[in-house]
Structure 1
Amino acid sequence: MVNCFGLVTDNKEPVPLKSIDAQLEVKDHVATLVSTLTYENKEDKPLEAVFVFPLPGDAAVCHFSAQIGETHIVAEVKEKQQAQEEYDDALSSGQQAFLLEESEQSPDIFSLKVGRLPPGESASIRLEYVTELAVQADDGLRFCLPAVLNPRYQPQGSEGPSVQVTSVPASLVPYSLSFSAQVSSPRPISKIESSCSLEPLQYLNADQTKATVKLGGGHKFDRDIELLIYYKDAHQPSAVVEAGQASAKPGSLMGDPVVMVSLYPEFPQSVMSSRAACGEFVFLMDLSGSMGCPMNNSTPQETRISSARDTLLLLLKSLPMGCYFNIYSFGSSFEHIFPKSVEYSEKTMKEALEKVEKMESNLGGTEILRPLNHIYSQACIPKHPRQLFVFTDGEVRNTKEVTDLVKNNADSHRCFSFGIGEGASSALINGMAKEGGGQAQFITGADRMQPKVMQSLRFAMQPAVNDISVSWDLPKGVSATVLSPPITAIFQGQRSLIYAQLTGPEADGSVTVKYSLAGHPSQNQLHFNLKPAEDSELTVHRLAARTVIRSMESEERTRRGHQDEEMKKKVVELSIQSGVSSCFTAFIAVNKDSGKAVQGPLVRRNVPTVDHLMDPLIKLFHFTGDGDLDSGRSARSAAEPPQPHKDPLLQLVSLQNASGSWMLHEALAAVLGKTKEEVEKVNNEVWASILALIWLHGFKMDAKEEWELLAMKAASWIKAQNENIHPSVF
């Protein structure tokens, strides 16, 4: 079942949200966002406004307050049921009240209730959260402020009410948005990019370690606000020690200093140059109706599913001989190309490609649990570690069930996840990769899917990292209690974060991460000073608290019996102590100083969120016989079969054999820009493959990330033929 979305009705009912002001502060790789939402009740009745919106899945909501006229109310964190009861009681007695709570199904969805606004009254809501910024494949740090709440698919039979949100076209959004960002780092800021129009970047000092940027004028709400921040020397390790809260109890997480250690392991090049020729590669592709939407507004002819087909072509051509693979597709149901993973060969590759070319976004909704359960039920292949690649636009509501399932099977595989298109759930995409020891990637705006996916394939083909351990070298009298879950995966060029609670005097210390890479013992060490930073805003403490809360929530869901309540109690205690949201708590604010009670019946209004995908979604969904809105077959599923690839690179790739070689025939000659007669004398398979490699290096260097692996496979095949070929060819 899909949450009900639709255009506003003809009578254009007024909505109370008037403006959103968002101010972002980035310090190195940690971001703090302060949003102010202004409401105004222009109706002649008291109003309850409900605004549902997404936040980053790992965000720690740490402040919520309201300004009504001259009255300022700061919300408190309380156990969720208690907060809900206080909110209902306040409304029943005519008091103004505000309730902010996290969805129980997905940690990146929040609902804000603004209760009993009197006629003609306005209110400003201030919301603050902190979050870590994920490192992208090109070393950029990604921040995303979603402008839409995409429909989240709720599987049949799942519990919990659907969130009701009205969506409107971007041109009719009744509220304004302003956004600015201030960035600071120990290293120079090289650039800040965005899919939205930005005003020119302004540096605030000579060494370019501080800068500010603002959203350009005329923002049309047609996309998320996504920032990519690039630093020079981005892979330097760092450690930040933050002093505890003076009012907190010593010995508690908030009372003691907390250190955040950021490590970027560098692996020996001799080891990294060897690519694994083994493994089981399982590709799980979302074919729900929404995958028929355009990848971006500038190239509407390229849909998510067409880009996914091209990506699968590159993946299949890049796999090493001797590995195993399979491809699953899912929607309301799921399918697989082979009953179980098969050995990679010319025959199995061609069979898979024939079915990939026929893939359409016609499998209905987005139920990912069933195919995942099926994949995990398949026995692993000895000496072929399983690598799972999941592609989805992230429109699901049972996020926690999915990430828990991945976590429970983490010992048997690594999971690489890809969020496709605007509004993909960061909690789902990041959660699957984190719990599965892999990597998460987001493909938005004008991004091409292929380079990011091939980057992850290179990670998956790296030698496995084993025996990971973290040790602390601290002076006498100083101890460190690690708050982060154990590190389960380390990739070349990827950041690992460790939070630890410290006790003892200020001094120098170090942390060492040891691991074994392809049988070679290695380690990375970072020295740091235990003196806390002077400008403490408890950012590190709140992120550490969020890390602990998420771990306990996950553990609570996997337990059964009397221990559930005990774990829930610990989550509630830490949430209240740290002021950080959880699935068991909520922020509640009641205006008890408003004088006389607000009279009159209470009118409820759902605040619409802009939906720039509404037009295509109308085409992708249909109403079932019982009146429910359901993901149906897209218009594309009834269209003509997909046309052959016209891109020369993809044409060349499609002609490559599983071994890595090319046969010279008319189709290859056409890609190379030659006639059949011009190359007839080159009837040797080796030289045909050499010509293909020369063409790639001569004409497609800008897309090297996409074809590098299959070119390496081709070069290895050529060398194995023992032909008398000049070494410069390679």
Structure 2
Amino acid sequence: MCFNRRRIPKHLLLQPSPPHRPTRRIWTWVLGSLVVLLTIAAAEIARADVNPEEASAGSLLVKTASGYRAALHHHSEAQVTIKGMLARVVLRQTFENVTDDWVEGVYVFPLPEDAAINRMVLEIGERRIVADIKEKQEAQRIYDQAKREGKRAALTRQERPNLFTQAIANIGPKEKVIIELQYHELVTYRNQTFSWRLPTTLTPRYIPGVMKQDADTQVSLETNSGWGWAQPTDQVPDAHRITPFVHPAPQPDTNNIAINISLDAGVPLAQIRGAYHELSIYKLGNGHQITPTQKHIPMDRDFEMQWHTVAGKAPDAAFFTEHIDGEDYALLMVLPTQQEQAGATLPREVIFIIDTSGSMGGVSIEQAKASLQLALSRLADKDRFNVIEFNSFHQALFSRPVPADANALQQARSFVQRLNADGGTEMAPALDEALRYPAAEGYLKQVIFITDGSVGNETSLFELIHQQLGDARLFTVGIGSAPNSYFMTKAAEFGRGTFTFIGAQTEVAEKMQSLFTKLESPVMSDIEVNWPVPVEAWPARIPDLYQGEPLLVSAKVSGTWPNRGVIDVRGQQAGKSWSRKLAVANTSSDAASHSGIGVRWAEQKIAALLDEKVRGRPEAEVRDAVLEVALQHQLMSPYTSFVAVEETPSRPQDQALEQAPVPNLLPQGQQAAPLMYPRTATPLLLNWLLGSCALLALLALRRFGSREVHHD
């Protein structure tokens, strides 16, 4: 008898002998059970799916003369005022109950990750109820009590810095309610270009981990049944709160938004343009009024507006102040002068990580592959590199980084060209692989991470980056029409790098060129800001700056600012010292013209406090510190929520209250898995069956994988 013997990898030969394996009888029982459970699960799925022809009042979809709609119809309007580098946004969300039932609506929606939300109003007809800011558990208790008593109520809570939940209780049949949110933020200023961005939908997040079965989780699921398509896991215990359904059959009027922008740039402008939408622009005095040419645009991708200054007129320094309740707040912006690299640059060891998970399907994977191919073309002969792709699993092209010679680069290009998007988004093993080893002596290690960031376990990934970064720098490249910008920006921040956003195939060359310039240019480091008076400034430790990026510092001023105070900024770049002195007048002299500076400072302090959790500070301490700032400044945070309650009950106690989640639109260019579509119910039996099937399948795969290695 002859056997074709297979080469066994060396690392497997060094493993100890396999442990005792279960008998054939046990595995026959396991596989038989798996078949039975899969059969039952398939029946449950068929029973749970919504058939649009059977949808009626009380379902997530209802049949109308024009097609199928969510039980709650939603559209939004954003009124945006931009003055200099500050943006104030008033977002009005209208919810219309198209059914004959009393409903509780829940809408999970994105906002910019640095949005400082400081006002919420519930509007019912002519009545406007201004919300109170409360500690999160207290706000939830007030809302739940009002819901039981039949009172109209609204609750706005933060799930992630860029993801929020709007709950509205006791919306009457055919009734319309409006939620008004106000927030402040900074516009982005890079490479002498300003931009403002509004996310309108979200890429469905991947939820890693094992499903939780404890009593507290079951109580939470019963309370929030049907809000999300995922179940809590040990890694993402709030998975059901961050996985809103997507609309399976949107109509032209489904989830639209109108955007009206008043822009006072403060400098002469050469161009105003929309990155992904056509704009109508009207000059009014020293400012501009801007709207999308299509009055109501679908909420299926981020909206971004850019404005460019006239040549030679781009600001390189600015100082804004605000006086609130006897306190002075300031915002400093300085754009350092770029210096040439002194002497020869260090060779680089570049690790490319590319996300090939299912959420990257469609145009996203093509953008990612094009970006990576361009990045490979910029490697120099003296550089070393590797490519790691990941989905449910990860694989590296080479076992360790190799010299960037012609042969290795050709292998890499072929490897990238063959990549397809499928499977889960298990980021941690790929990041661990990239960061595990320090660079070879004499090399500068850079990690370029290309992904849409659609994960629910952001904090654990930040901890991994913080713990394993060493001397490396991590640069994130956000891909797609609605990436998780919170993960991308914060991962780059912990990685001491930068975030680049690519929202369309036409942007790949321009955006990657900008990133290459940063990677190949000297960094401004050891930055210090010396103030003429005591201040509490954030960030407390100023990060390194890359070419084209401004220094931004928010400060709370103590004491009296001198009539002609001088701010001294210093740093090191390309082995040379750099400094800049700015003479500024008394901070309260033009307070009325720069609203939003105070809440910007508070939002920056809260963000810094939350980062301390990643660095190991006990959460109880962080929570107390955040609560103090958030309640004083009336700001939304992970520990505070806005709640508004109408005093008089509206829903008769003999009338039931139906749940009506508002589905999001799927990001442009993506395809959703069936489980992300809304259903009439999500049976707990089905969830248990699917979890059991996954567990048994894993055991079976491990069994047969073991047999393949040890018996060939």
What TM-score, normalized by structure 2, do the two folds share? 0.77
Partner of 1:576: 631
2:395 counterpart of 1:338? no
The equivalent position to 1:317 in structure 2, one of 353, 377, 389, is: 377
Q: Residue 352 of structure 1 aligns to which amino acid in structure 2?
A: A
How far apart are 1:305 and its partner, in Å? 2.5
Aligned-partner Cα distance in 2 for 1:435–1:447: 29
The equivalent position to 1:388 in structure 2, one of 444, 447, 457, is: 447
Quick check: 2:374–2:512 contact (8 Å CA) kept in 1? no
Q: Residue 116 of structure 1 aligns to which amino acid in structure 2?
A: N
Partner of 2:134: 78
Aligned-partner Cα distance in 1 for 2:596–2:297: 32
How far apart are 1:54 and its partner, in Å? 0.7
Query: Which string of whole-angstrom CA distances, capped at 9 and with x for unpartnered residues, describes residues 588-616 of structure 1?
Result: 11112457866511101011222254774
Aligned-partner Cα distance in 2 for 1:122–1:625: 38
Secondary structure in structure 2 of the residue aligned to 1:550: helix
Partner of 2:181: 127
Quick check: 2:74–2:662 contact (8 Å CA) kept in 1? no
The equivalent position to 1:69 in structure 2, one of 95, 119, 125, is: 125
Quick check: 1:78–1:586 contact (8 Å CA) kept in 2? yes
Any gaps of 5 or more consecutive residues in structure 1?
247-254, 295-303, 631-730
2:437 counterpart of 1:378? yes
2:302 counterpart of 1:224? yes
The equivalent position to 2:661 in structure 1, one of 601, 606, 623, is: 606
Partner of 2:291: 214
Quick check: 2:330–2:587 contact (8 Å CA) kept in 1? no
How far apart are 1:392 and its partner, in Å? 0.7
Partner of 1:361: 421
Quick check: 1:394–1:419 contact (8 Å CA) kept in 2? yes
Q: 1:386 to 1:354 in 2, by over 3 A?
A: same
Query: Which string of whole-angstrom CA distances, capped at 9 and with x for unpartnered residues, describes residues 17-73 of structure 1?
Result: 343111111122222211111223343332100111111111111111111233321
Aligned-partner Cα distance in 2 for 1:322–1:603: 65
Q: 1:462 to 1:453 in 2, by over 3 A?
A: same
Q: 1:463 to 1:537 in 2, by over 3 A?
A: closer
Q: 1:595 to 1:326 in 2, by over 3 A?
A: closer
Partner of 1:544: 601
Secondary structure in structure 1 of the residue aligned to 2:150: coil
Q: How many residues align?
A: 594
2:337 counterpart of 1:271? no
Aligned-partner Cα distance in 2 for 1:601–1:391: 48
Query: Which string of whole-angstrom CA distances, capped at 9 and with x for unpartnered residues, describes residues 77-133 of structure 1?
Result: 211111111111111222221111111xx3211110001123343221101111222
Secondary structure in structure 2 of the residue aligned to 1:166: coil
More divergent stretch after superposition (228-237 vs 168-177): 168-177
Quick check: 2:329–2:598 contact (8 Å CA) kept in 1? yes
Q: 1:406 to 1:210 in 2, by over 3 A?
A: farther
Quick check: 2:367–2:504 contact (8 Å CA) kept in 1? no
How far apart are 1:203 and its partner, in Å? 1.6
How far apart are 1:580 and its partner, in Å? 1.3
Q: 1:514 to 1:605 in 2, by over 3 A?
A: same
How far apart are 1:463 and its partner, in Å? 2.6
Query: Which string of whole-angstrom CA distances, capped at 9 and with x for unpartnered residues, describes residues 543-600 of structure 1?
Result: 111111011112134336xx43122111011111111111111111111245786651
Q: 1:141 to 1:367 in 2, by over 3 A?
A: farther
Quick check: 1:7–1:168 contact (8 Å CA) kept in 2? no
Quick check: 1:484–1:498 contact (8 Å CA) kept in 2? yes
Aligned-partner Cα distance in 1 for 2:674–2:245: 19
Identity among equivalent pairs (%)? 24
The equivalent position to 1:487 in structure 2, one of 536, 542, 548, is: 542
Partner of 2:116: 60
The equivalent position to 2:166 in structure 1, one of 103, 108, 112, is: 112
Secondary structure in structure 2 of the residue aligned to 1:243: strand
Partner of 2:202: 149
What is the alpha-carbon root mean square deviation over aligned residues?
A: 3.0
Where in structure 2 are the equivalents of 1:676-695 lying within 5 Å? none
Partner of 1:694: none
Aligned-partner Cα distance in 1 for 2:333–2:611: 24
Secondary structure in structure 1 of the residue aligned to 2:145: helix
2:99 counterpart of 1:22? no
Where in structure 2 are the equivalents of 1:135-284 lying within 5 Å? 135-137=189-191, 139-157=192-210, 158=235, 159-162=237-240, 163-205=243-285, 209-217=286-294, 219-221=296-298, 222-232=300-310, 233-244=313-324, 246=325, 255-268=326-339, 270-271=340-341, 276-284=345-353
How far apart are 1:519 and its partner, in Å? 1.7
Aligned-partner Cα distance in 2 for 1:343–1:446: 29
How far apart are 1:234 and its partner, in Å? 2.7
Query: Which string of whole-angstrom CA distances, capped at 9 and with x for unpartnered residues, describes residues 524-559 of structure 1?
Result: 332222333242564111111111101111213433
Quick check: 2:82–2:88 contact (8 Å CA) kept in 1? yes
Q: 1:310 to 1:595 in 2, by over 3 A?
A: closer
Quick check: 1:47–1:605 contact (8 Å CA) kept in 2? yes
Aligned-partner Cα distance in 2 for 1:6–1:371: 35
Secondary structure in structure 2 of the residue aligned to 1:419: strand
Secondary structure in structure 1 of the residue aligned to 2:567: strand
Secondary structure in structure 1 of the residue aligned to 2:239: coil
Q: 1:135 to 1:624 in 2, by over 3 A?
A: farther
Aligned-partner Cα distance in 2 for 1:237–1:537: 16
Quick check: 2:357–2:392 contact (8 Å CA) kept in 1? yes
Q: Residue 305 of structure 2 aligns to which amino acid in structure 1?
A: L
Q: Residue 271 of structure 1 aligns to which amino acid in structure 2?
A: Q
Aligned-partner Cα distance in 2 for 1:598–1:511: 63
Quick check: 2:356–2:365 contact (8 Å CA) kept in 1? yes
Aligned-partner Cα distance in 1 for 2:446–2:50: 41
Partner of 1:461: 520
2:359 counterpart of 1:290? yes
Where in structure 2 are the equivalents of 1:434-449 lying within 5 Å? 434-445=493-504, 447-449=506-508
Partner of 1:585: 640
Q: 1:32 to 1:411 in 2, by over 3 A?
A: farther
Quick check: 2:102–2:651 contact (8 Å CA) kept in 1? no
Q: Residue 94 of structure 1 aligns to which amino acid in structure 2?
A: G
Q: Residue 189 of structure 1 aligns to which amino acid in structure 2?
A: L
Quick check: 1:328–1:334 contact (8 Å CA) kept in 2? yes
How far apart are 1:316 and its partner, in Å? 1.9
Secondary structure in structure 2 of the residue aligned to 1:124: strand
Quick check: 2:73–2:98 contact (8 Å CA) kept in 1? no
More divergent stretch after superposition (90-99 vs 49-58): 90-99
Partner of 1:397: 456
What TM-score, normalized by structure 1, do the two folds share? 0.76
Query: Which string of whole-angstrom CA distances, capped at 9 and with x for unpartnered residues, describes residues 489-540 of structure 1?
Result: 1122211200111122342223222222222112233222233324256411
Secondary structure in structure 2 of the residue aligned to 1:394: coil
Q: Residue 606 of structure 2 aligns to which amino acid in structure 1?
A: I
2:99 counterpart of 1:43? yes
Partner of 1:451: 510
Q: Residue 519 of structure 1 aligns to which amino acid in structure 2?
A: G
Q: 1:320 to 1:404 in 2, by over 3 A?
A: same
Secondary structure in structure 2 of the residue aligned to 1:373: helix
Aligned-partner Cα distance in 2 for 1:466–1:534: 32
